[in-house]
Amino acid sequence: MKTINIAFAGAFMLTVAACSTNPFTGKKQVNLVPNSQLFPTAFTQYDQFLKENKVVTGTKEAALVTSVGQKIKAAAEKYLASVGQSEYLNGYEWEYKLVQSDELNAWCMPGGKIVVYTGILPTTKDEAGLATVMGHEVAHALLNHGGQRMTADMAQQLGAAALAAGTQGKSSTTQQILQTAYGVGSQYGALLPFSRSHESEADKVGLTLMAIAGYNPDKALDFWQRMSAKAGGASVPELLSTHPSDATRIANIKREIPAAKATAAKLGAKF
């Protein structure tokens, strides 16, 4: 019993040590996988993905992905500077790639590695639509949703007693959990089953990022309405899905737009 108590005490101390406040939400987060471990793994998987897939270069669409990505990056930097948290982006190595695929998808790995699939471009339709998507995906990374999922997965798989030992160094167990939990294995982060609360957080912060970048967040409604029409009403019921229903997402975005505009206005954004 004493050994178990010591193990739980150690796990508790590790949890406290890994607790931090996210500058975008003001919420406390527990992340047991530090960026010093997370980023190199994500960067390696990103490079591998690019080798195995067709990266589109030299087109106006590819140039637009880079341009919008740079604006979203600058928006994140401007926001963090305004709250005195510029160091939050330490270790980020931003990269923006357009990849040939029919999938209606885009993703941002930890550390700022972004992929947009050509299949989503007809639905993004214009620059503001693309900014909606890229702002949302970058928000997942900035909110450290991948790290939170890993933390939950580690707690479940390793157990409290083994958690402290399992997160030290780069053991094969930790690496497997890291890849599986964030989806940087065979999925490469493309189909992350974030929780509904994570999706709503990413929508909210994504709106703020696109507004600071100079895009009217009202345009986000146009994009999500097009996505809803694309689904043709065949989406999974919200209760059974990790994503909000289209109606819920659109209603939430409508509610958050004024706050996004207000934050952007304070930072001098015009759209």
Which residues carry out catalysis? 137
Establish how many alpha carbons lie within 13 A of residue 104's alpha carbon, considering only the half-sphere containing its beta carbon. 12
On whether the CB atoms of residues 139 and 131 are closer than 8 A, the answer is no
Q: In angstroms, rounded to a whole number, what is the distance separating the alpha carbons of residues 202 and 135?
A: 8
Phi-psi region of 43 (alpha: psi -120 to 50; beta: other; left: phi over 0): alpha
Beta strands in 110-247 (DSSP E): 113-117
Name the 3-class secondary structure at 184.
coil
**Assigned token pair, 210:** 């696109």
Burial class (CB within 10 angstroms; exposed 0-12, middle 13-18, buried 19+) of 168: exposed
